[in-house]
Structure 1
Amino acid sequence: MNQTFQIPSQSERVAVDMAKMASSIAVQRPYFAFRSLYKVLSEWDIWGDFKPEQPLGSESGPLATAEAGRHLAILGSCAAALSQTEGERVYYLAAQAKWDLQCHSTDFTPRQLMTARAKIVDRSRKMVTAKTELLIEGRLFGTLSVRYQILAEKTFEKLFSSHREPIRSPSVSSPYTRAFPLSVLALSAREITASSIGFSPVLCEGHFPEYPMWPVAVVMYGMSQVTARLLDHRMGRNVFYRVLYAVIEADELVPANKQLVFSARFAFMSADGKLCDVVCSTSYERRVIATTRIELAIE
């Protein structure tokens, strides 16, 4: 049985200024979607509450794994930013993340407020690693370890100056409430390849304002979409699954107006068809920019 944790009460919380924090890590709404950020007297550097918004697709559970990764990775960068000089802006580029599902229950209330916590476990001049946890109804749902590359604002601007765009007026609704379309290029019982269609800066709003890039969590969501399509084709039915474990490596930032190609293939499937490993990659102009290996439980 999963261990239950006490969610900090309002009287235990010391609020963190979300506007200042968002500016410090160069991530704004709607990509930054926490309802509150706070500290409590504990081993964890920072806590936050949010409500999931992304479509589940074929995943079973209270939220999509890619969305869990989005919020937890943001909170990890907030933990890193606590040591920044006030007014300083630093870009935290997620280079590697490891997701581990801790709770297999499906009896959660849908679209409820969820709690995340993060702490820094390793830091150097160029890299920082955060440990994060997602709590739902006091139960530990999953953990995410994230390693970030650290870029000072001037360095980031120099590297990506050619991709700078004016800041857009905030959208009325979040683009993260919708799945983005993919066009299947090739599909067999073993693998699939698909490309993004019409992805644009609007669809990653809030992720590095003025420098709209494909967020790693959105890339992960694209890989999960092709994985779902591959499973349906292989099993000959609509398949629902849970992500037990995933490791994602991200090597390159790509501007949001560029087309990406997503691929997935089976690396293993159990004889009873209940467990499988899927290897995914994302490419831009034939360069692999991200890879992931996912362990799935099929329902």
Structure 2
Amino acid sequence: MEIPLLILVTTQILLPLFFLMWLWLPRPADRLGWAMRVFYGACYFAFITVVGRWDFISSALAVVLPVVFIALAMLSFTRVRDRPRNASASVMRAHGLTAAMAVFFLALATRALSGYGYQETAVELAFPFAAGTYYIGQGGSATAINSHYADQSQRYALDIVALNGFGARARGLMPQDLTRYVIYGREVKSPCTGVAVSTHDGIDDNRISETNTAAPAGNHIVLACGTARILLAHFQKGSIAVRGGEIVMKGETLGRVGNSGNSSEPHLHMHAYLGGTLDYTTGQGVPMTFDGRFLVRGSTVTIP
């Protein structure tokens, strides 16, 4: 099992199961011990709900697991309500480590939540897909929820995948067949009316978990939308339907999602930047909104 997948299974399956079981076994010696377990578990669930990539398993679990935790926490209190408030001679010795870990995960969750807003003027765009349910894998204004944020030109970039009926981005955790990814082959629509100032095609799709760092955007299009430039990247080879210099209309088909460039699995990368250049690695990244909505990791968009 690859390291990223092992981390995902540990943080989003095994540890949540541990915190659910820990509410019951072993039974706390006092009510304070129960409260500390609940506090620790609640802080962890807050953290993983915000930063987790739930599209790998099911986006529904981001809601279901915290609800189950709350219900089990309330039910587990019946096992300790007749116990003393505190049976330990030293609260710090008995619960100090638990409290410290809880605060640690609470701080991480708070830091990630700071990425839910922005200060700059946003570029209003149309969502670049037609009917379906879509999930934001990377997005927001903090590195905890957006791996692109450290790059000046890509500060508010989005990585978009599509979800199946189970709320997962693919059939399987990390299938090798590109066609098992829901987003693969989906038509990408122009998010604005503007000019396709640059296009590039002819790059093959990568195998899963492999990337082409020599051509980071792979097959891509740069649109001029007013004063902003919009990069849409990782198209399928031979699918780009517009040429450089053409005027494109909002909602017009641009191409199909592939896995070319610096992409380990099928998704659409898009970011907006100011600077008036064709070089998508330069310029100043700016926020994007869709019907006034600023999308972050974990956001879902349903197009009827």
TM-score, L = length of structure 1: 0.25
In proportion to residue count, which structure has more strand? 1
The higher-RCO structure (CA 8 Å, 6+ apart) is 2
TM-score, L = length of structure 2: 0.24
Query: Which structure would you say has the larger Rg?
Result: 2
In proportion to residue count, which structure has more helix? 2
